[in-house]
Structure 1
Amino acid sequence: MRYIIVGAGAVGGTIGGRLAESGHDVVLVARGAHYAALRAAGLRLTTPEGTQVHQLPVVQGPDELTPLRRDDVLVLAVKTQDSTAALDAWSACPVTGGGTAGELLPLVCAQNGVESERLALRRFRRVHAMCVWLPAMHIEPGAVSAAGTPLSGMLHLGRYPTGTDETTRHIAADLEKSSFLAPVVPDVMRWKYAKLLSNLANAIEAVSGLLTSDEGRALFARALAEGQAVLAAAGIGAAGKEEQSEARDGRIKFDPFDGSERVGGSSWQSLDRGTGTIEADYLNGEIALLGRLHGIPTPVNDTLQRLANTFARERRAAGSMTVGELVQVVDAAAETTEVAH
């Protein structure tokens, strides 16, 4: 199999670099300054084992790889807000011997949230979902770091919407040989919904910094309670804390390997890079959507979604609002919601 990593940022770069280290054929897809740096100097992947530079093929889009090979696997690792454009571009790409990528090739959604799989299934017949537990950072063009040790992360994998197949198992086996824990599960979306709940903290972290205070953790608990309530109302199951802990079972330690203070996650990094977009619509916004569908108010997640989008659009600095200020804005929105109901 050749792995085409569509979005070679923190997650995609780590997966692509680790697969390359174990001898797999990998192509990276990137854009802008990151693409230029990868072309000029390779992918610099830093892990607890040290830094390795991978001189891998890198392209900006499918036109540079056409036609695709029949043994290609597409790994979609862009943020969900960029999924539609990427899926449109790659699904129509011709494959050697006839047919298109959407008709013939497997696509793995290695992303936060639960929306990309639905978007992908409109365009691809063979969609796989991946629940990504992978502490990684991409701030500097050409460079990615991954702090997980002794394995880089845990990547639950299954067919979407349910089930597994030989391709699932083949991909998982390749990942297991590449410093990942990759359980094959027929109910992978349960794991992705569990990750969605934990990702409700992303907007808090992006706007006001790491959740190190009681006030910040209490705000996350309120966002989480809304998320759990709407999932229950929608009849959607999610893996529990004990199940998640048992899966990791001491196999992966997430502490920064160089002793430095941990920086923010994916949403924080989007603000720090000044991309102008953020994935809040598909994290806190997913809870807001389910709340509206099932008649459950979600003022905390509504507000976090709105503020995260405002920060991204206005290119405000990550963590530049205090937790106290954020709580005041959320409380005001919650009071307005109570009055309206």
Structure 2
Amino acid sequence: MKICIFGAGAIGGYMGAKLAQAGADVSLVARGPHLAAMKANGLTLIEESGTSNVSVTASDDAADLGVQDYVIVTLKAHSVPPVVSKMQPLIGPDTTIVSGVNGVPWWYFHKIGGPLEGTRLATVDPGDAQWDGFGPDRVLGCVVYPAAEVSEPGVIRHIEGNRFSLGEPDGSKSERAMALSKALGAAGLKAPVRPRLRDEIWVKLWGNLSFNPISALTHATLDVLCTDPGTRAVARNMMLEAQEIAEKLGVKFPIDVDRRIDGGAAVGAHRTSMLQDLEAGRPMEIDALLGSVQELGRITETQTPTIDAVLALIALRGRVAGLYG
């Protein structure tokens, strides 16, 4: 089984290091100083249990790596459409594309059934780059839970979590899903195959669509924005609007809004990824986390006044910083 991780930053690097340690045939696509460090010194993984180093096959050119059984995409959502053409050397007749990207996935309406079957989302797949370039039948969904960071080029620090939930768009326990689950499990990662992956997508998105932009606008950490009465109310309203959309699409939430916000508060003084991107001068992941939910609101004829307002504010903040649009 050949596995390529396209976008071997913090999360992709963590997964790649664990797979390489387990002896899997894994390769990584990365760039810049991080790639150079991995080529020169291998990939170092810092975990609570200790620090390890493993030699990895890494390149910035997919043509160096050849056709794969699985291509696991761990880029930020807005970074994927521009590189679909560069990924083609990895894709053969039986290649599975594993979409480990935050937000509403571009394949969301593939095999969902009903009147919205096949609907395409312009906010996350402009020009249908992924729908046409990959093909939705190749896709295996993935919800990423671990937290990690690139502490320096070639060095990944694992913070918490080791679960990568997998799911077919039609909810089946396919052979390809079970085989990847087994490979990830052999590497010490949890990879359950879920019949209702869209439910998990929304529970994670619930927090991302609200906590991320509020933190970027206020520079508050999770514990503060989830307990301050004003920002908690804004987050709660955003989540309730999103819940109305999701439930119209058949999603079932296993927890309620207040428990989800309390869970965010319990994480502590954490700076969300959007705040980190703003402070580091990296492009901000706005469309996948908020724009896509607004688009789904229009599709389902659901009013989203709080999401609309926060989206307008964070979009302007991103444009002023030169990190969006």
CA RMSD of aligned residues (A): 2.6
Q: 1:189 aligns with which of 184, 191, 198?
A: 198
Q: 1:212 aligns with which of 208, 212, 223?
A: 223
CA displacement 1:43-82 (0-9 Å, x = unmatched): 22222112222321111131222x325xx31000001101
Q: 2:307 aligns with which of 298, 301, 304?
A: 301
- Native 8 Å contact 1:6 1:74 kept in 2: yes
Structure 1 segment 1-341 matched on structure 2, within 5 A: 1-65=1-65, 67-69=66-68, 72-90=69-87, 92-93=88-89, 101=91, 103-117=93-107, 120-122=130-132, 123-124=134-135, 125-138=137-150, 140-148=152-160, 152-200=161-209, 201-207=211-217, 208-213=219-224, 214-215=227-228, 216-232=231-247, 234-241=248-255, 262-275=269-282, 277-315=283-321
Offset at 1:24?
1.2
Distance 1:315 1:45, change over 3 A: farther
CA displacement 1:224-280 (0-9 Å, x = unmatched): 111112223x333044228xx9xxxxxxxx97xxxxx754233233224322x1212
Residue identity in the other structure for 1:112: N
Structure 1 unaligned spans of 5+: 95-100, 246-253, 256-260, 318-341
Aligned length: 287
Give the Cα separation in 2 of the matches to 1:262 and 1:40.
35
Give the Cα separation in 1 of the matches to 2:295 and 2:146.
26
Structure 2 unaligned spans of 5+: 109-124, 260-265
- Native 8 Å contact 1:226 1:287 kept in 2: no
Greater CA drift, 206-215 or 176-185:
206-215
Describe the SS at the equivalent of 1:136. strand
TM-score (norm 2): 0.79
The answer for the alignment partner of 1:321 in structure 2 is: none
- Native 8 Å contact 2:171 2:196 kept in 1: yes
Offset at 1:282?
0.9
Offset at 1:305?
2.9
- Native 8 Å contact 1:191 1:238 kept in 2: no
Distance 1:141 1:274, change over 3 A: farther
TM-score (norm 1): 0.75
Give the Cα separation in 2 of the matches to 1:42 and 1:314.
38
Give the Cα separation in 1 of the matches to 2:312 and 2:38.
34
Distance 1:312 1:17, change over 3 A: farther
Give the Cα separation in 2 of the matches to 1:178 and 1:217.
38
